[in-house]
Amino acid sequence: MTAEYLRAVRAHLGRLSRADRRRALDALSAQLEELVEAGGDPVTALGEPAHYAAGLLDALAGDLPEGSASRRVFGIPVETRGPVSAEIRSRVWDPANPSLFVPRLFGIGWTVNLGAVAVRAGLIRPDDTDAEVLRSIPERDLSAARGVPLVIAGSTAAALALVWRSLPSSVASGFGMTGRPRGEAPKWTLTGVAALGALPALWAQRKNVPVEDRLVRAASATSLSVISASVVAATVVQARRPCGRWGLLTGAALPVAVAGSLAVVVVPLRSGLRRAWHAAAAAPPRSTLPKEKTP
């Protein structure tokens, strides 16, 4: 009963930042445990989950969520805290937030909330990312997730090194909507494009951070490494076969980047869910009867 109540309240708190939501649910969880020990009923003591959640939202109304953009320009979010704030980074994986698009981690505009995508695709439920599940994720799965962007970035760098001598001194500096080059630039600029995928991949290798942040780092790095690889590939092919519209490869890479980012989070998370479910099934049932008072 308490788990269902907690889950129902969580489903109504998507508007809160992740930090506020976690604090509110931790406090509610402790309160529910006390009710269980006293033999109380959550609905009787606290009201319906929707009403309880509405009270929390009203109490926190007017506060600036930590996950919101630091400022806006003509209504467009502008963010600069993503590289240094785990709370800001977590907005790209927030299953409890139903919004598909959230402010970017760095720069102007919006990015995809992979958590909302996973929920809508039926891969997880909004309340699946809790502390117990994260603790249950095997270390090998976390290592594999971190390794995905590293492999992509490394493969991109290796492929670029193999064709470097055969490239002309000038290559496409970018591509338009039609896939045609917009201009030319020295070929060494390709090393900068490759670095845009390699540096985030290295940044994602940190182990001394919370599990959730490790997954978010891996997802962000995977997306950037895929986009970097697509730009390098399109530029190299364009240099060798100038008649094509190879810039369209970069557009085709966007859904691949989203799918890859989603996979490096969902696969370990589902592994943690399975382990948490098995552990819960093996645990002895907890009594909900009130404790007898000693005379």
Query: Over the stretch 214-246, which tens digit does the pLDDT of each residue have?
Result: 999 999 999 999 999 999 999 999 999 988 888
Reported residue count of the chain is 295
What percentage of residues in the chain have a pLDDT greater than 90? Answer: 35
Confidence grade of residue 67 (pLDDT, cut at 50, 70, 90): very low
Q: What is the pLDDT of residues 184-224, one digit of tens each?
A: 999 999 999 999 999 999 999 988 888 888 999 999 999 99
**Stronger pLDDT, 251 or 37, i.e. the higher one:** 251
Confirm whether 287 is domain-assigned: no
What percentage of residues in the chain have a pLDDT greater than 70? Answer: 78
Residues 247 and 148 in one domain: yes
Residues 199 and 236 in one domain: yes
Distance, CA of 135 to CA of 131 (rounded, Å): 6
Mean pLDDT of the residues in the chain: 81
- Answer whether 76's CB lies under 8 Å from 65's CB: no
pLDDT of 290 higher than 60 = no
The letter for the amino acid at 29 is S
Distance, CA of 137 to CA of 127 (rounded, Å): 16
Residues 251 and 160 in one domain: yes
Residues 84 and 52 in one domain: no
Confirm whether 191 is domain-assigned: yes
- Answer whether 45's CB lies under 8 Å from 39's CB: no
pLDDT of 267 higher than 70 = yes
Its pTM stands at: 0.70
Domain that holds residue 88: 67-114
Residues 201 and 261 in one domain: yes
* pLDDT of amino acid 75: 60
> HSE on the CB side for 236, CA within 13 Å?
20
Distance, CA of 220 to CA of 206 (rounded, Å): 14
Give the count of domains, the chain. 3
Across the chain, the runs of DSSP E, i.e. the strands, are: 71-73, 76-79, 101-103, 107-108, 110-112, 170-172, 184-186
Confirm whether 119 is domain-assigned: no
pLDDT of 63 higher than 60 = no
Question: For the CA atoms of 128, 48, 67, 61, what is the dihedral angle to 10 degrees?
Answer: 180
Handedness of CA 30, 32, 34, 37 (dihedral sign): negative
Confirm whether 123 is domain-assigned: no
* pLDDT of amino acid 64: 43
* Residue of 221, 210, 87 whose CA lies nearest to 147: 221
Residues 33 and 60 in one domain: yes
* pLDDT of amino acid 85: 64
Residues 253 and 169 in one domain: yes
Residues 53 and 172 in one domain: no
pLDDT of 34 higher than 80 = no
* pLDDT of amino acid 143: 94
Residues 73 and 201 in one domain: no
**Stronger pLDDT, 175 or 69, i.e. the higher one:** 175
Distance, CA of 284 to CA of 269 (rounded, Å): 24
Confirm whether 124 is domain-assigned: no
Residues 97 and 193 in one domain: no
Question: For the CA atoms of 146, 123, 102, 58, what is the dihedral angle to 10 degrees?
Answer: -120
- Close Cβ partners of 105 (under 8 Å, ≥ 6 residues apart): 79, 82, 83, 88, 89, 91, 92, 111, 220
* Residue of 132, 137, 136 whose CA lies nearest to 25: 132
Residues 83 and 192 in one domain: no
Confirm whether 178 is domain-assigned: yes
Confirm whether 121 is domain-assigned: no
Confirm whether 125 is domain-assigned: no
Give the mean model confidence (pLDDT) for residues 84-113: 75
